[in-house]
Chains A and B, each alone.
Chain A
Amino acid sequence: MIAMFRAVLYTQWKWSRLIVVLGTVAAFAIPLLSLQGAARADRGALQTQDLLRAVQSWGTLYPLLATALGLLMAMAAWAADHRGRHIHALTLPLARWRYVLLRFGAGFVLLAAPIAAVLIGSSLAVLTATLPPGLQAYPIALAVRFAFAVFVAYAVFFAVSAGTARTAGIILVVIAAAVLVQVVASIANLDVNLFAAAQTVLLLGPGPLAVFTGRWMLVDV
């Protein structure tokens, strides 16, 4: 099984190394950039607020980066199998769920690089900056949260990418049907808000996508 995993990991690295490298560079740079100019202890309260606003603005990039990485890595994981109509994968001598697990695991191992880059970049940023009194740095919490977001994004897009064009079609039809129901409901003045309901279920804690929402702060009070 280890030999199989190494083989899958190698192919996936070959297909997605550009994504991994660019993602790692971005993940390393964002925390450093977010604390640019923070190395002054003589900040007043107003400047501290500016710093927090800057950190918060840069913080919006973490969930975007996690989503982009999850999406691109998931697409890369299945692209070759889709091109070969899955014939090669389906004729390999292992249970299909094991093959899926190998692909998923290999992708996640590769995503460890940008996650580590967030941790290293955040730690470096914090070490090289002198934070105003009253502010705390949370590099580990930020990295853990980023790891969780990457995992969720990768898992969701991996599942969608694994499906056939028919599966993608079904998902699109479900979304289109929801939009249609919402339009009809609003024309008929019915008190139905599917998207608010979906938003509550998905994005508010403990929804599966809640990790992407809220503030991503490397430095906070």
Chain B
Amino acid sequence: MRADVLDALARHAATLDESGFDPRADVSVDAWAGLHADLAALGLEFSDITALDRIDAVELVCWLLSSPSEQLSVRTSCLNDRLLAPTLSDVYPPAEFGEREVYDLFGVVFEGHPDMSRILQPDDATTFPLRKSFELAETPW
């Protein structure tokens, strides 16, 4: 792990875990945008943004690439009663579609996103199908 990246993680009170296959950093949702702005300034490249349903919260996972071949996953947690996170699309423009996908499938709303609409499901869809609470039997065929 690069020293400047470690500095940025420490500045935003992120906990680093390097025991897994790829290093992961957990950060609070308030520091989410600031940390990514710093990491982008250090030259880290955006790879993907996705999410995991942790029953009581939705965990956002942002994959970053650092040359030549280091991968870092930055994670944050949005509690179920406040599924709201600042957008990364102003830091990483390609995150726009990824965040729309996370919204479409998990229901996390990104503040400051230019177009927070459905991307995979029809515009009139009302469900978030990748949530654990989603039951297929309720789908009106």
Say whether A and B bind each other: no
